[in-house]
Amino acid sequence: MSDLIPPGLVTLDASLGTTTHDVITHLANQITAQGRATDAAELAEHALAREAKTATGVPGGIAIPHCRSAAVTAPTLAMARLADPVDFGAKDGPADLIFFIAAPEGADKDHLKLLSKLARALVKKSFTAALREAKSPREVVDLVAEVISDTPAAPAAARAAAESAAAEPAVTKRAKVVAVTACPTGIAHTYMAADALAQAAAELGIDFAVETQGSSGSTPLDAALINDADAVIFAVDVDVRDRGRFAGKPVIQVPVKRGVDEPAKLLTDAVAASTDPHARRVPATSAEDPAQGPDATKESFGGGLKRALLTGVSYMIPFVAGGGLLIALGFLLGGYAITDVADTYLGENTLWNLPEAGLLAYLGAAAFKIGSLSMGFLVPALAGYIAYAYADRPGIAPGFTAGAVAGFMGAGFIGGIVGGVIAGLACRWINSWSVPRWLRGLMPVVIVPLLGSIIASGLMFLVLGGPIARLTEALNDWLSGMSGVAAAGLGLILGLMMAVDLGGPVNKVAYSFAVAGLGAGSLVENPAPLMIMAAVMAAGMVPPLAMALATVIAPKLFSGAERENGKAAWLLGAAFISEGAIPFAAADPLRVIPASMVGAGVTGSLVMVFNVVSQAPHGGIFVFFAMNNTWPLFLLATVIGTVISALLVIILKKFVRKSPAVQAQPAAAESAGVAA
């Protein structure tokens, strides 16, 4: 395999600079000097652009910058062992072993084969130890030839690696990794992360299977796949369902967005964890693992609270969505007066004994009542699944009960959150008790639910319920009394939050705030929560719609791939899937995100000023009937914001120069990932 990495492309114990730009530029110059590329600057630019998307540093002091470029004339490896390590974005520190993979444009099979074989070899301690001990470029070439071609290395290389190889035999079987992806709404990031991980696994030569715990349901991983897996990746913002299936497996847990942004790195970390006896493992129960946060042995209280809240909201959304749409359908069929007669119609009449108002009124009463009952589960479901996130299944009953108590006392969603947190923490604490063997079977089904309910519901009744109810009443009064500048200001803030990270944590906070308030909203007595929901939904529609419009108005400012994404963004935006703008924000965050924020903020303000309402938490323009007569104003506000954002992004792309890709650093890559 000397045709891939000749000795002239091996640099040992040299200082090539202090940044990724310095190192990659030096290696690109070397490749060009060897006659394997026609333009060193173009090759370096492509490699650094790839580096800006996802840092290529991996644990163990290793980095694998790579790219496909028209400047490359033959598949090539360049290797450098640095005297002064350089930060390539790995969490364990800078890298001293650098492998630069350069492939010709269109040479996908060569590129992927090189990347997968080399990446798998670099997780073997015997291989990296031999590279660090190699005395000459020829020795390095022989070592690399062995792992790429699966043929025995030259005797000199074998001797250099003998000691390490004796301690750790080379592993030839393919690594096996399984994953679970989940986000609070389960609509976009869940599936984007799954696809990104699957694609990266194919590139790296890893056997991979993924379970998407999304809004459309999930097909659980086969037990045999889990048993055979070397490691598990949890790319989730909410709690993993049936986590106990993975008990004992090495685990990498991260926010779902990292599954989209850094799939190859997560897979490499998972493979490394599979051979690390000290790697974090999935516990048999959540009580054994108070640290369920990403990449930590102990989760902070704030991190655990965020995860629990997002879990509660994700399970609450179906109750709100179904209930809100059914109530709106009831009004559509039976008119607004249906609220006063629904109980009478359903109690005294049937399909064979219709009321005087007729069939539509009867069906409207049924839809309204079913929707109202569904909405009645909002606070108990929120509390129940917050507790579930802390204590797994034993926490569900105490959480639901605490939520029901909060509803009974008028404490609303704030009471549900407090009750759910107390129930979850109490159940997790009780579940951690050391009890006799004969009592263990009763703990999850009797002892934990009983004592957890007493603690959480007792505190709600005796201590917390009253003050929280008064706080909720004051909050509702304040929201109901908002008008003019105050309402516009709140809409502006919510709109900015919806567009700042497009499905990220800030976006989820705004959305969760709106959804949680729906239970207290009503068209006549308290429309403010319904207005907030409409503002959040309209603002979230603006970024993808604006990008779609911009690709139509000024197609030359966008790449071919972006123009194709723009076509899909029309539907995604209309359906209130903000993530439709992510490809644009990832490619150009400094111009796309500010433009999106301005338009979304304007839309949020206009919706509040126009008194637009929405009883549905999702669906965009397709749930217009849940907006009563205000949907034309909803559409107007959305169009205004879309036009503003589209024009702004066009102006910024024309007149504000983008920073050259060759100056991107791993830190910039990470900030771009957050913005996306």
* Catalytic residue list: 66, 183
Determine how many CB atoms are found less than 10 A away from the CB of residue 83.
Answer: 12
- Report which of 478, 486, 475, 534 is spatially closest to residue 510, judged by C-alpha positions: 534
Of the CA atoms within 13 Å of residue 163, those in its CB half-sphere come to 7
Calculate ∠ Cα 595-600-606, nearest 5°: 135
Token pair 């209280």 is found at: 301
Contacts of 348 (CB under 8 A, 6+ apart): 355
Structure tokens at 674: 């957050």
Q: Taking a C-beta distance cutoff of 8 angstroms, is the pair 516, 617 a contact?
A: no
Q: Which residues pair with 353 in a beta bridge?
A: 350
Q: Concatenated DSSP letters for 466-506?
A: HHHHHHHHHHHHHHHT--HHHHHHHHHHHHHHHHHSSSSHH
Q: How far is CA 456 from CA 307, 399, 428, 514, in A?
A: 20, 8, 12, 25
- Report which of 122, 145, 27, 128 is spatially closest to residue 79, judged by C-alpha positions: 27
For 530, phi and psi rounded to 5 degrees? -70, -35
3-state secondary structure 114-159: HHHHHHHHCCCHHHHHHHHHCCCHHHHHHHHHHHHHCCCCCHHHHH
Q: Mutual orientation of helices 396-408 and 412-431 as an angle, nearest 10°?
A: 150
Q: How far is CA 651 from CA 258, 582, 594, in A?
A: 31, 19, 12
- How many angstroms separate the CA atoms of 177 and 44, rounded? 32
